[in-house]
Amino acid sequence: MPTLISPIPRDAADYLAEQLGVYAVELSGYDFGGRTARRHCAEILGRVAKIFALTTP
């Protein structure tokens, strides 16, 4: 997972912002390297793994 918003492609940042119901510019203030961000990333990866497990034969 990235530690800064800058390495995230603009389209991805826009999509993430849309999913969160915020403007993409608001993501620039998010601390991607903090403890909360690491927990959020773990939750996201856990959900992706469950989806992958359900869709993989």
Rounded Cα distance, 17 and 26, in Å: 8
pTM score > 0.75 for this model?
Answer: no
Q: At residue 3, does pLDDT exceed 80?
A: no
**Which of helix, strand or coil describes residue 47?**
helix
pLDDT computed for residue 55 by the predictor: 84
Q: Which residues of 44-54 are buried (b: 16+ CB within 10 A; e: fewer)?
A: eeeeeeeeeee
CA distances from 57 to 34, 51, 52, 54 (A): 36, 12, 10, 8
- Where does the pLDDT of residue 56 fall: very low under 50, low under 70, confident under 90, or very high at 90 and above? confident
> pLDDT tens for residues 9-54?
889 889 888 988 999 888 877 787 889 888 988 998 898 888 888 8
| Cβ atoms 8, 2 nearer than 8 A | yes
